Structure 1
Amino acid sequence: MLKDKDSAAIVAVTDMNRARQFYETTLGLSLISGDENVMQFATGSTALVVYRSDYAGSNKANAIVWGVGSEIEAIVADLKARGVVFEHYPDMNVQGDVHVAGDFKMVWFKDPDGNILHLNSL
């Protein structure tokens, strides 16, 4: 039924202007469309939908995941230069801001509403 259908990430925010600044300027995503309640950003061959909600940031798990492959260290350095602060989780091997498990690398950071965003080396 859904196996051949595309999916998209969707994330709730409280302040659309602040979210647009973060997703467009800090993360470098291109705005496809938007108004005061919903925005859509291009991200690879998919889209990220950002919408206004009083429940923004209440999810305690990953809200968005990007597989960035071997570019992970360069992207982390660029995001850090733009002011992104990375999460560090205990009981994991952390090298700088990157968590490492064998050949697999991953980082987590939050948007202004506390939504957890994740990059990995897949």
Structure 2
Amino acid sequence: MSAFKDKPSSAIVATSDVERARAFYSDTLGLELQEDGMGDVLVYKTGTTWLLVYPSDFAGTNKANAVVWDCGDDIEAIVADLRAKGVTFEHYDMDGTEFANGIHRAGNFRMAWFKDPDGNILHLNSA
């Protein structure tokens, strides 16, 4: 039996500027702030999990995905909404994928990546 099999998990990202991160995650992404009284740690509910944003001198140094959201068929609308808010989507060259309007397509699977103000890589997919 795995000690973690039935345990909930959370995503956590670092920021160099808590107020800038608050504006991005609250206003741009539209997440509802659940708690902010833990020494500048911002806690958001996202689906059935939590996203914590905390101050760190190492913010944005991760070169891999920090958070992924499974968006299903809503991915197109979500990407369009974020693009309208000024979010720039990343374009990665990957064999077997096409890229248009911020979304990578591999058959019926769709993926999009963008960065928060600290450079943390955030990922959307149509799983």
Query: TM-score band (shorter)?
Result: over 0.9
Structure-2 residue corresponding to 1:80: 83
Taking the aligned partners of 2:103 and 2:11, their CA distance within structure 1 comes to 23
Structure-2 residue corresponding to 1:109: 114
- The 5 Å alignment of 1:1-122 reads 1-35=3-37, 36-91=39-94, 92-122=97-127
Count residues in correspondence: 122
Amino acid at match of 2:18: M
Scaled by the length of structure 2, what TM-score is found?
Answer: 0.93
Scaled by the length of structure 1, what TM-score is found?
Answer: 0.97
RMSD: 0.9
Please give the secondary structure, in 1, of the residue aligned with 2:113: strand
Please give the secondary structure, in 1, of the residue aligned with 2:62: coil
Between the two proteins, what is the percent identity of the paired residues? Answer: 59
- Describe the superposition over 1:81-118 as per-residue Cα deviations: whole angstroms up to 9, x where unpaired: 11100001123311221100111100000000000000
Deviation of the 1:37 alpha carbon: 2.3
Taking the aligned partners of 1:34 and 1:96, their CA distance within structure 2 comes to 34
Taking the aligned partners of 2:45 and 2:91, their CA distance within structure 1 comes to 28
Range moving further from structure 2, 104-113 or 29-38: 29-38
- Describe the superposition over 1:6-62 as per-residue Cα deviations: whole angstroms up to 9, x where unpaired: 001000000000000000000000000014521101111111000000000000000
Please give the secondary structure, in 1, of the residue aligned with 2:99: strand
Range moving further from structure 2, 56-65 or 41-50: 41-50
